[in-house]
Amino acid sequence: MNDALLKADAETIERDIESLAAMVDSSKPGWTRRPFTPWYEQGRQWLRERMVEIGMHVEIDAASNLIGRLPGSDPSLKPIMVGSHTDTVTGGGRFDGIIGVLAGLEIVRTLKRAGIVLRHPLMVVDFTAEEPSEFGISTIGSRGMVGNLPEEMLERTDPSGLVLRDAIRLAGGDPDALPSAALGPGDIALYLELHIEQGPVLEQTGTKLGVVTGIVGIHRYRVTVEGRPNHAGTTPMTMRSDALTGAARMILELEAICREHDAEPVVGTVGKLTVEPNASNVIPGRVVFDLEVRSLSVDIMEELICAFKRRTEEIALNCGIAISMDCLSKSEPIRVDEDVQAIIRSGCAATASSISLPSGAGHDANQIARIAPIGMVFVPSKDGRSHCPEEWTDYADVALGVEALTRTIVLYDNL
Ligand code: HGY
Ligand code: MN
Ligand code: MN
Ligand code: MN
């Protein structure tokens, strides 16, 4: 195989990234394209046109995922799937998830330029709402694809009262068909995802490609702290049940618990909090915050949450406040099969320097791993930054990631 034939075109990748980057909610900071919004639909329409342009058959599945299909020379084989997400966090960047979907387009173009027809069918997927959505759930599309979006989740509402089931239907899905339409073990031959590292390792080690060995699980809870609203001027400090100072103690406790686990990468974060009535002269009566813990071990995550519950019950008692916790979602940690890692390492070896590393971010791959072997390739994040406007990866580095994925697919297709 003439090596140059499998090189991805960095200029085309740049054009695609910047085209999508223009379809964002400019009233928000950074590059914001939240799911189920007009900007998201605009981006998907653009993506659909690109897929048709390169000869793919395009469909929206029951979970509202956008899927491009390219037939293989042997229709008896199960498809190879490449995918990720084009939704962003609020105030996010232009690369997180997006390069994994655009990689699918460039892989198809590269194969055509090289005159290669794969034996396996190829699927390119833009999964709906990978980021935590207004429904309190993340990886909605990939959950739906693998039958992991139960009725209880479909009935969740966003702050406007829209029910997730209806949002999926408005996005072109068919939520009532979800359980039967789900894919199962054996339906996909291999799932591969190109993603920015969103951390500092590749940049610090001067390496161009990351072979992902495992992906953390994420356990997310909504915590409600009930105090007693009262006048900020006339209530003595000794007679207060302040929901916000109590919540602050609890959040610092989460940080302390996670810091005690320096054995392996464990993180805990509270990134979303509301205060009621949120007035400068009223002692807060209620605080609601979302917390998440992440680890490569389910046991450790369960342990963190137990420790948090134990210690915050004590805080509640001492502060005269009440705490309640509801589980929002759980995604389980994934270990990437050694043989998948090996074939990705071969695809990388012919492309650029690579190292193996775990993913501290969650991905659609966490869900697809429930039904198929999965693998991921990382490309470097400038200053290790992501989920912010400073998120940046050189287009040439993205192209190397696409090339590594293309080589991996060609190797796998010829096994
Ligand atoms: O939060 C995450 O790990 C991913 O970026 N959705
Ligand atoms: Mn993200
Ligand atoms: Mn992502
Ligand atoms: Mn007054």
Q: Provide the residue type at 404 as one letter.
A: A
In short, whether 13's Cβ falls inside 6 Å of ligand 1 is: no
In short, whether 361's Cβ falls inside 6 Å of ligand 1 is: yes
* CA 130 to ligand 1: nearest atom: 6
Residue 62 CA to ligand 3 center (angstroms) comes to: 22
Domain's final residue, options 331, 350, 365: 331
pTM of the model: 0.95
Residue 258 φ then ψ, to 5°: -70, -40
Q: Are residues 259 and 205 in the same domain?
A: no
Q: Are residues 107 and 130 in the same domain?
A: yes
Domain's final residue, options 331, 347, 367: 331
- Return the pLDDT at 263: 67
In short, whether 131's Cβ falls inside 6 Å of ligand 1 is: yes
- Contact yes or no for 255/269 (Cβ under 8 A): no
Q: Is 131 annotated as a binding residue?
A: yes
- Return the pLDDT at 261: 86
Predicted confidence pLDDT, tens digits, the chain (415 residues): 566 789 999 999 999 999 999 999 999 999 999 999 999 999 999 999 999 999 999 999 999 999 999 999 999 999 999 999 999 999 999 999 999 999 999 999 999 999 999 999 999 999 999 999 999 999 999 999 999 999 999 999 999 999 999 999 999 999 999 988 999 999 999 999 999 999 999 999 999 999 999 999 999 999 999 999 999 999 999 999 999 999 999 999 999 999 998 767 799 999 999 999 999 999 999 999 999 999 999 999 999 999 999 999 999 999 999 999 999 999 999 999 999 999 999 999 999 999 999 999 999 999 999 999 999 999 999 999 999 999 999 999 999 999 999 999 999 999 9
Q: Are residues 130 and 185 in the same domain?
A: yes
Alpha carbon nearest to ligand 1 atom 6, residue = 131
Q: Are residues 275 and 388 in the same domain?
A: no
Q: Are residues 90 and 200 in the same domain?
A: yes
* CA 361 to ligand 1: nearest atom: 3
Domain range enclosing 294 = 218-331
Q: Are residues 191 and 44 in the same domain?
A: yes
Residue 275 CA to ligand 4 center (angstroms) comes to: 19
Q: Are residues 8 and 21 in the same domain?
A: yes
Residues 6 or more apart whose Cβ sits within 8 Å of residue 59? 67, 69
* CA 198 to ligand 1: nearest atom: 5
Q: Are residues 264 and 352 in the same domain?
A: no
- Surrounding ion ligand 2 within 5 Å at CB are 96
In short, whether 130's Cβ falls inside 6 Å of ligand 1 is: yes
Residues 6 or more apart whose Cβ sits within 8 Å of residue 166? none
- Surrounding ion ligand 3 within 5 Å at CB are 96-97
Residue 347's beta-bridge partner residues?
none
> In CATH, what number is assigned to the domain containing residue 7?
3.40.630.10
Q: Are residues 294 and 162 in the same domain?
A: no
Domain's final residue, options 309, 331, 353: 331
In short, whether 362's Cβ falls inside 6 Å of ligand 1 is: yes
Residues 6 or more apart whose Cβ sits within 8 Å of residue 34? 25, 40, 87, 88, 90, 131, 133, 134
